[in-house]
Structure 1
Amino acid sequence: MNTSSRPVDAAVAAYREGHLADAHERFAALAEAGDPEAQAWFGSLHANGEGVTADLEAAFAWYLRAAEQDHVPAQTNVGAMLVMGQGTVADPVAGLHWLTRAAQAGDAMAQSNLATLHFKGDRVPHDEAAAAHWYRRAAEQGHYPSQARLGFMYANGLGVEKDRAQAFAWLSLAAQHGVGTALSALEGIVGQMSVEEKHRGATQFDQWRTRTAAVSSPARLVPVPG
């Protein structure tokens, strides 16, 4: 088994190679010793029932310990769990705090979750401009669902000025990665576009098409429902 110099890397390697009992033991010791990366991974094991009985309350507790040490993916999970009342009593205000903190640190999943909450106006004030802002931040990192939602907002002038070229670009980016709703929406606007709009849309598409959202560890929870 290949490991690097950090003890937590040996635990991650054990996990990736399917040695869940070994990974659990390593993560547990490191998490108890205060390692935030191990705490986040240990939370993930509990959230997903890997090497241990699934336990969202334990998952939340470990994510929170990591989040309080500025582990950004854990902050995202804490925020989502607080909003949805998973593993803890629902507290949308506290959840919004953690999601905003992680989103401002550049986490695409936090940005997408925050945008969804603002767009729905469920548990937080309805704010389409804020939703568009955070969807764009995530979309520019290559987060495919956010690209689809941002394209929808440009197509319909929700939170942004209606712009078919921008809609074409973002919907095309999402569609190339198999987001079916993006493909359907794209088909609906192409026939309405001028040659100039199509040119601008293609230019925007080329600008962002190489972006791919970073895959951060530990594994994510299901995002806030859209």
Structure 2
Amino acid sequence: MSLAAKSLAVQPLAPVPTLTEGVAAFQARAYDRALAVFQPLAEAGDPEAQAWLGALHAGGTGVPASLTQAFAWYRRAAEQGHGPAATNVGAMLAMGQGVAQDRAEGARWLERAAASGDVMAAYNLATLLAKGDGLPADPARAADLYRSAAEAGHYPSQARLGHLYAHGIGVERDRVEAFAWLSLAAGHGVGTALNALEEVIKEMSADEKREGAARAQARRTAPGRIAPIPA
């Protein structure tokens, strides 16, 4: 008798949890469930799951906090082109968190992430370049990077860019531009921006203030602006 004639029992396969389920579990603070979803996906090579697993280790959510483990998982994701993970790798290298400090190597990772459009990478790299922290100072490049993040709606970058315009660091001194960028940042609670804005206003004419306010409003309502990323 052929096997085809028999009725064979088939073991039903359990559905494989998806990354979306893991994210939903994380957002619901069901961290054990999130870990159970992310871990096998990360070990199988999914860069998004690797980045999420790094975040669990960094925050000690669902697992004991370990910056070393966080860095390892972020790096695995970054090596596959995951922009936010590359930003975290660069920042952790620059600060010596979870890995031996290496600002030059951190800057290289931040360059990669910034080139992919990650605004936090642009902000972090600009900060290193503005200070000359571990690499040659380049205020003009820092200003360009802050501008790219500021135009994407990143409030701290708007504050930093306004500061550069107020003092002529890496850019021509421009009170109107300083007013515009500092106004945007101050409007979202960046305290240093409000203090800097008050100092800039003291030197401005009424016409300059009106122009600065108009520029700030135009940037605030620019079409296609991505959602701001909190610092």
* TM-score of the alignment, normalized to the shorter chain, above 0.5: yes
Q: Pick one of 105, 110, 114 that aligns with 2:125.
A: 114
Which one has a bigger Cα radius of gyration?
Answer: 2
Structure 2 equivalent of residue 198 of structure 1: 209
Instruction: Report the residue type matching 1:42 in the other structure.
Output: L
Say if 1:215 and 1:147 are closer, same or farther in 2 by CA, change over 3 A: closer
Quote the offset at 1:104 in angstroms. Answer: 1.3
Q: How many Å separate the matches in 2 of 1:17 and 1:71?
A: 24
Whether contact under 8 Å (2:51, 2:85) holds in the other structure is yes
Q: Deviations over 1:50-80 (max 9, x none)?
A: 0000011110110000001111000000000
Instruction: Report the residue type matching 1:84 in the other structure.
Output: M
The 5-angstrom pairing of residues 20-59 of structure 1 reads 20-59=31-70
Describe the SS at the equivalent of 2:40: helix
| Greater Cα shift, 180-189 or 197-206 | 197-206
Structure 1 equivalent of residue 200 of structure 2: 189
Instruction: Report the residue type matching 2:144 in the other structure.
Output: H
Q: Pick one of 33, 43, 68 that aligns with 2:79.
A: 68
Q: Pick one of 184, 190, 199 that aligns with 1:173.
A: 184
TM-score (norm 1): 0.90
Say if 1:142 and 1:76 are closer, same or farther in 2 by CA, change over 3 A: same
Identity of aligned residues (%): 59
Whether contact under 8 Å (1:99, 1:111) holds in the other structure is yes
Instruction: Report the residue type matching 1:90 in the other structure.
Output: Q
1:127 aligned onto 2:138? yes
Structure 2 equivalent of residue 100 of structure 1: 111
Quote the offset at 1:196 in angstroms. Answer: 3.1
Q: How many Å separate the matches in 2 of 1:118 and 1:59?
A: 25
1:161 aligned onto 2:178? no
Whether contact under 8 Å (2:90, 2:107) holds in the other structure is yes
Instruction: Report the residue type matching 2:107 in the other structure.
Output: L
- RMSD over aligned CA atoms reads 1.7
Quote the offset at 1:133 in angstroms. Answer: 0.8
Runs of 4+ in 1 over 3 A off after TM superposition: 210-216
Q: How many Å separate the matches in 1 of 2:181 and 2:226?
A: 13
Whether contact under 8 Å (1:60, 1:78) holds in the other structure is yes
Give unmatched runs, 5+ long, in structure 2: 1-15
Say if 1:105 and 1:6 are closer, same or farther in 2 by CA, change over 3 A: farther
Q: How many Å separate the matches in 1 of 2:211 and 2:124?
A: 29
Instruction: Report the residue type matching 1:208 in the other structure.
Output: R
Describe the SS at the equivalent of 2:63: coil
Whether contact under 8 Å (1:119, 1:126) holds in the other structure is yes
Structure 2 equivalent of residue 219 of structure 1: none
